[in-house]
Amino acid sequence: MSYAKRLLLLMSIDTTIVMLSIFFGSYLLYNNDYINSSIIIVSSVFLIVSHHIFAYFFKLYKKVWQYASVNELTEIFKAVSFSILIVGILQILVFGALFTRTLILTWMLHILLLGASRFAWRILRDHYMFPNENKNKKRTLLIGAGSAGRMVVRQITMRGSDSELQPVAFVDDDIKKMNLEILGVPVVGQVKDIEELVQEYEIEHIVIAIPSLQRGEVQKIYQECQKTKIHTQIMPMMEDILNGRVSVSQFREVQIEDLLGRETVELDTSSVSSYVAYKIVMVTGAGGSIGSEICRQVVKFHPNKIILLGHGENSIYDIEMDLRQRELTCEIVTEISDIKDKLKIDAIMKRHQPDVIFHAAAHKHVPLMERNPEEAVKNNVVGTKNVAEVASDNNVKTFVMISSDKAVNPTSVMGATKRVAEMVVQHMDTISETNFVSVRFGNVLGSRGSVVPLFKKQIQQGGPVTVTDPKMTRYFMTIPEASRLVIQAGALARGGEIFVLDMGKPVNITDLAKNVIELSGHTVEEIGIKYTGMRPGEKMYEELLGDEEVHNEQVYPQIYIGKTLPVDVNLITELINDVNSQDKETLKAHIFDTADLRRRTVTKVNFNQ
């Protein structure tokens, strides 16, 4: 039906309802004596005109009444009430009297008949025209009977929805909601009752409908859901829904990030804008997991230019294409270069004159660096030294280097070279006008070197999932979280600091493997877990700050700062000079000797002197 025909039909129905309301109301009050009076006829005309005006104003003729709810009933109440009010005013002006009882009864009948006419289609649709519509849909338990839960019910039950789900019950820990019905769906219990309720209501699907959940709460709820072996999903973030990126009913799978049990660090946007907005920003290692995410986060703050520097052309191409697909106001520049090539790095900085550098380029793979210690030194130490010195020479304002928790009491070549790189950065801060800082964090979920992609690949191949030791633990964070920390550190930088994220409790790798297996739709018994023993350079557990480095107070929510320790530059210079003249085992010993924090000689000289 066209809009014009629909409008004409609704206006005809409403005109009939208005006439019935006022004449029937008058008949009930005054019997036949009053029906033909001029007052009733004139009032009817006034009411018809005012009703159509307010019906148009409150958009009653544009509502899709097959989805009518309390909101639509409220609009009917407003339109009718204002219509009656206008008629009352006109009665006083024209007739010099107000026929109160007639108007009140007319108002009641008007609302009753108008509401009935509008809701009739929904009643017919739900109970008579499509009674078997939900027959083949999955019986769904919704966790959370708040506003988000109501949104989910409306979205997946509306006519025309292609959802395969049919909500049959809510669970909510709010006692006040217990035994109530929300949009026809009962609140039947609390989170602790999920296992029992799944059996009682023959649940086939579970949706967590609380987008504001803290991560610890998600973990608690998901553990209860896992006891049932029923497929569990979670509704999208409210921010994504409001921005139009996804709809309410586009449920996603529960991710391992949801189960970390620790809240993400949010950026202080004003402080970040103060040093990034309208500036020139360079990111080394821009094609890597962390580097590319730093680029995505930085461009939100409208720099004038962002320089994507990396050694691998494919990865740099990927992040360039990613950024160009966004609506950006900044210039995007790509530079293919090895950070070990100091002359090239210097030429790039002279050409672009960056204000801020995020140094993410590094070798990070522990076993590979154990077998290639000379490359770890060249890339992690010499490369960092090159970029830092050139940054100082070109008057870069802020230099932020990404470090690792493996730099604390290092047992691997990778960790030791990252500790030496931290020392390089700390030393550069003492001799330069540039603010040099390091940011230290644990393992990053989803990064190239993370265990999670490895676990997923092993699961796809049928298992088993390999874990080095049942007691091994690690700190974990997400890629966006790590990137935000790096960017925030630049805003907090005063020079020489090592910033550390409060990463909560370390995660047992076996527990992590079990979660990944279950999130993939399998059981641990199906896939299996195989223990392979610790590899060279690995630690049973990680630390974020050494005993000599700890400051107890936070400098930003969930961010700590380590103490600045003296650096012996001569040892670093010797390591660099001897990198190609020693066998691997001797070089390893030299690396660990240089990274030893017990050496406290303060030497404020340039490396090249």
Residues recognised as catalytic: 406
Separation CA 499–CA 558 (nearest Å):
10
DSSP structure class, residue 190 = -
Tokens encoding 349: 């900085």
| Cα 61 from chain centroid (whole Å) | 39
- The span from the CA of 386 to the CA of 361, in Å, is 12
Q: How far is CA 313 from CA 39, 252, 338, 378, in A?
A: 86, 33, 11, 20
Please count the other Cβ atoms lying within 10 Å of the Cβ belonging to residue 94. 12
Pick from 453, 420, 338: which is nearest to 607 by CA? 420
Cα 570–571–575 angle (5° rounding)?
Answer: 115
| Among 513, 534, 587, 508, CA closest to 367 | 534
Selection from 261, 198, 236, 256 nearest residue 519 by Cα: 256
Cα atoms in the 13 Å half-sphere on the side-chain side of 473: 13
Virtual torsion, Cα 327, 330, 336, 339, nearest 10 deg: -120
Hey, how many other C-beta atoms are within 10 angstroms of the C-beta on 84?
24
Helix (H, G, I), strand (E, B) or coil at 466: strand
3-class state of residue 273 by DSSP: helix
φ, ψ for residue 440 (rounded to 5)? -115, 130
User: Torsion-angle region of residue 184: left (phi > 0), alpha (psi -120 to 50) or beta?
Assistant: left
